[in-house]
Amino acid sequence: MNTLKALTGVIAVMVLGGCATVTPVSGQFPPITPRQAQTGAENGKLVRWGGILIQAQPKAQETCFTVMALPLHQDGRPYLGRKKSDEGRFIACAPGFYDPALYAAGRELTFVGTVAGVQMEKIGGYEYPYPRLRAGTVYLWPLEVREPATSTVFINGGWGGGPWGP
């Protein structure tokens, strides 16, 4: 009887565990932000950064992504409620071709990789220090489909209870 209870417990854990979704950017990472990495002191450290894609630029051997950094949820998804946060910007480069039509401006991305220096680029007339990330993992978050709020108004039929009767 005890074996049956133990087996039932193991099966329940396996079934419920099978429902959990783990993204390739899950895990524990040091709390280093792109803003902190602008000094160059964080070179070589493994980090998880994410945010809103500004631009994807395919090159001969790699694709580089310019990203407006955002704080991340525990699962690694950028936290859109903090769009005005000052996490900075960064450039993440990953080997291979990533289609700019799919990796379009405004999409949410998360990267896991090592900090690989600082690259100066202009934003308008301002020289901005972009921390550079050598990305081993690039994760494009699925678009969230928001259901429109319904504007249907239900009105009681009055004293008689409406079409449903008294």
Q: Write out the residue range of the structural domain in which residue 77 sits.
A: 26-140
| Residue carrying the six token digits 């009055």 | 158
Is 49 a member of any domain?
A: yes
Is 14 a member of any domain?
A: no
Number of domains in the chain: 1
The length of the chain in residues reads: 166
Is 87 a member of any domain?
A: yes
Per-residue pLDDT of the chain (166 residues; tens, 9 = 90+): 565 555 555 454 444 444 455 667 788 898 999 999 999 899 999 999 999 999 999 999 999 999 999 999 989 999 888 666 778 999 999 999 999 999 999 999 999 999 999 999 999 999 999 999 999 999 999 998 777 766 665 555 556 555 665 5
Domain holding 92: CATH number? 2.40.50.140
DSSP 75-109: TS-B-GGGTT----EEEEEEES---TTTS-TT-EE
The answer to whether residues 76 and 48 touch, using CB atoms and an 8 Å cutoff, is: yes
The answer to whether residues 45 and 30 touch, using CB atoms and an 8 Å cutoff, is: yes
Model confidence, pTM: 0.74
